[in-house]
Copies of this chain bind each other. A is one copy, B any other.
Amino acid sequence: MVMSLHYSLYSNVKLPLFCYKPASEFGSKFHPNLFIKNSSEPECLNQLCPPANQSVAAIVFGDGSSHSRLYPLTKRRSEGAIPIAGNYRLIDAVVSNCINSNITKIYALTQYNSTSLNSHLSRAYSGARLSKEGFVEVIAAYQSPDDNGWFQGTADAIRRCLWLLEEYPVVEFLVLPGYHLYKMDYQKLIDTHRRSKADITVSVFGNKKGEDLGFGIFKLNDENLVLEFRENHEMSTRKSLSVENLVNFDDNEKCNFPSMGIYVINRNIMIKLLTEYFPTANDLKSELIPGAISLGMKIHAYQFNGYWEDMRTIEAYYRANMETIQKTNKAYNFHDRDSPLYTLPRHLPPTLVTDAVITDSVIGDGCILSKCRIKGTVVGMRTRIGDKAVIEDSVIMGSDTYHQTGISEGEHTSIPVGIGEGSIIRKAIIDKNARIGKNVMIINKDNVQDGNMEANGYIIAGGIIVIIRSAIIPDGSIL
């Protein structure tokens, strides 16, 4: 029987942290089928005690680094603000995870190309959809009497905002990179943390044992306690000061798990690490975490085995978009009623389709699609595609407004935003507000793997042509 099993797991706890009650106990006449659930889990497994909205604050990092390998998508925006899957920005995935996990105190820390991210977060999450005391507070890097510099790293950023983060008496901080695509109920992670009475709990990715996903590798013992930490130095985009003291792991991959950059840290542990033990450390991953290990703190690991895409490169970003168009998508369900993906509310007109053949594609709101053929493509909001255009295996980000005539840095052009008549696009990423002329071919004709043609409005990365935001590609061009 389920319940006794449930109990035996934590017989030393005496009391389940999660509420659980079979539906049959809800009053004499209750009909169990009235619950509409997609999952077969017990009804009430998603409540923490104290509840997450009162006891946890999320700290979301909206940008990776200034040396992003996602350039030119990050030319004018931070990583979290990159459009994805037609209607969204990358950071919506993590913020929606928080909301769906009942975490409603969310601080978003930004400093790199932060404008569009800040604008999106302010408008998409201001008040609405967060319960009575919830908020998404954007903290942009700032100068102060104490410190005139930029955030020097993730640890430095948190330290400098501590005066603000301490405002609410939360029990744990949940540190999250803001540019990954995945669904996780953080309540399960926090529950694991509380049950294990750890000082810090890290989330590790069970599907890529032994790899370094950019956040280092943890060696675990049988009870999921962290023994050691190691970084692949080539992966590291920031210099780490204290990695000398990391041992070389043996090659037993079984116990080497990649970190996901997700940490649950007890409030007082966070404060002590930042202000007492390592007051000059700048980076959380490469300084604070190794430091905590060296101090003998109890660091537990939570294994996550679901879909997770980090999108560190153009290729990874392209692949993640391609995965969103598969109907049998176990990867990431955008249409899940129980854990919806939130974003900026809009009121766009419906998509107008004239004689198009559309295969295996995702179509954002308010597009205008003429007699074109679209296959395996993500078509973003307000995209306009002309007659006889053929789009295959591509990501079209769409546009910010309708009818924007050609004004671009002083010049005038007659090429409107969108894809012109007769143009052919294959395996390309077309950033927002780009103007592709008529009979253009974006097909990587010379099969270039990597090249920088920024002056001409595009770059090539991993064989994928990326047309830069607001770029103009004249009629008849062949790329």
A→B interface (CB under 8 Å):
3, 13-21, 25-31, 33-36, 38, 43-44, 47, 49-51, 66, 71, 74-76, 85-87, 99-100, 104, 110-115, 118-119, 122-124, 126-132, 134-135, 137-145, 148, 150, 161, 163-164, 167, 169, 171-172, 193-194, 197-199, 266-269, 271, 298, 325, 327, 334-337, 340-366, 368, 370, 378-379, 400-405, 407, 410, 412
Contacts and interface: CB of A to CB of B under 8 A. Distances in A.
Given A100-B132, A167-B400, A337-B403, 4 more contacts: A112-B142, A140-B142, A341-B349, A353-B362
A405 B3 CA distance: 27
A266 B30 contact: yes
Nearest to A17: B21
Given A194-B26, A362-B352, A169 B132 contact: no
Q: Is the interface of A mostly helix, strand, loop or mixed?
A: loop
A205 B267 CA distance: 43
A76 B161 CA distance: 11
A230 to B, nearest CB: 26
Copies in the complex: 4
A349 B36 contact: no
Contacts of A341: 347, 349
Contact of A353 (B129, B271, B360): B360
A132 B129 contact: yes
Contact of A148 (B66, B139, B401): B66
A87 B348 contact: yes
Nearest to A377: B353
Contacts of A349: 85-87, 334-335, 341
A144 B113 contact: yes
Contacts of A35: 50, 169
A363 B337 contact: no
A266 B407 contact: no
Contact of A140 (B19, B118, B345, B358): B118
Nearest to A264: B27
A351 B364 CA distance: 6
A267 to B, nearest CB: 7
Contacts of A76: 144, 163
Contact of A15 (B20, B131, B401): B20
A356 B325 CA distance: 13
B145 A110 contact: no
Nearest to A405: B36
Contact of A71 (B119, B145, B171): B145
Given A31-B268, A51-B44, A403-B337, A359 B354 contact: yes
Contact of A327 (B115, B124, B336, B352): B352
A194 B268 contact: no
Nearest to A112: B143
A361 B13 CA distance: 51
A283 B473 CA distance: 36
Contacts of A359: 353-356
Contact of A363 (B38, B141, B351): B351
A395 to B, nearest CB: 12
A387 B402 CA distance: 33
